[in-house]
């Protein structure tokens, strides 16, 4: 299992509209997949831009594609300042 971290920037004037779209998308994904998504942002803004992070913990194979389709359907890129960047992390195995 892996965790997905998606980060991007949003202009402050688009933040409210984008938040509504992201939360609606995440609610649908949670209902469909059982994943428990999170939405975060850095506390400061720089040059009128906020940095946001979506977190999808403990996702299975195929979830990244499901997420990409959901983001397209939600029209998220219309409100972001640039691309969405995805990072994938996995747990380290415990020491024996």
| Pick from 61, 64, 14, 67: nearest CA to 41 | 14
pLDDT of 96 above 70: no
Binned at pLDDT 50, 70 and 90, residue 23 comes out as very high
pLDDT of 1 above 90: no
| Pick from 27, 72, 79, 32: nearest CA to 52 | 79
Taking a C-beta distance cutoff of 8 angstroms, is the pair 12, 79 a contact? no
The pLDDT tens digits for 45-95 are: 999 999 999 999 999 999 999 999 999 999 999 999 999 999 999 999 888
Q: How many residues are recorded in the chain?
A: 96
The pLDDT tens digits for 25-44 are: 999 999 999 999 999 999 99
């Amino acid at each position: 299992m892996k965790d997905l971290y998606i980060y991007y920037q949003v202009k402050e004037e688009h933040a409210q509209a984008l938040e509504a779209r992201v939360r609606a998308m995440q609610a649908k994904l949670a209902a469909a997949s059982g994943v428990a998504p999170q939405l975060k942002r850095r506390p400061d803004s720089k040059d009128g831009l906020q940095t946001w992070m979506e977190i999808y913990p403990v996702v299975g194979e195929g979830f990244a594609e499901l997420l990409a389709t959901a983001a397209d359907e939600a029209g998220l890129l219309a409100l972001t300042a640039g691309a969405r960047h995805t990072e994938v992390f996995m747990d380290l195995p415990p020491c024996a």
